[in-house]
Structure 1
Amino acid sequence: MNSTAYNVVRNEEDQYSVWPAYRPVPAGWTTIGDAADRETCLERIEQLWTDMRPRSLRAAKEQ
């Protein structure tokens, strides 16, 4: 059983990822919510990331 805690992180293009909580969040990424196990984080991403297109592409399509 993996006891590593993870964070959901999001970049400026509204793309999400799972990142180990013990590691510093990379530049350009922001932690979303509290640390949890990997499966919980993946479920959170599934709920949050409803449009896979990067923010810049969505904005260009709306113009």
Structure 2
Amino acid sequence: MSDDDRSYLVVLNDEEQYSIWWSDRALPAGWRAEGTEGTREQCLSRINELWTDMRPKSLRLRMDGASV
């Protein structure tokens, strides 16, 4: 269990790569909020549910196009 009582956001970039960010800070350039806010553990759990394919979006699209 963590002593971290801060609130976090789940964030993602244009390549659909996920991370967490402090909810009381401005988002870094190139990142947007996914919609989940909570403890560090809650946000990491949400990322675990969402991010099932670790490849960047551009690579997934390129590979999907190559298989057509």
| TM-score (norm: length of structure 2) | 0.88
How many Å apart are 1:54 and its aligned residue?
Answer: 0.1
**Residues in 1 aligned to 2:29 and 2:58: alpha-carbon distance in whole angstroms:** 18
Equivalent pairs, count: 63
Range with bigger deviation, 40-49 or 20-29: 20-29
**Number of the residue aligned with 1:62:** 64
**Number of the residue aligned with 1:51:** 53
**5+ residue gaps, structure 2:** none
- The letter for the 2-side match of 1:15 is Q
How many Å apart are 1:2 and its aligned residue?
Answer: 1.3
Choose from 25, 28, 37 the match for 2:27.
Answer: 25
Which of structures 1 and 2 has the bigger CA Rg? Answer: 2
**Residues in 2 aligned to 1:46 and 1:34: alpha-carbon distance in whole angstroms:** 13
Secondary structure in 2 aligned to 1:41? helix
RMSD over aligned Cα, in angstroms? 0.8
**Residues in 1 aligned to 2:24 and 2:13: alpha-carbon distance in whole angstroms:** 19
Q: Is the counterpart of residue 5 in structure 1 residue 7 in structure 2?
A: yes
**5+ residue gaps, structure 1:** none
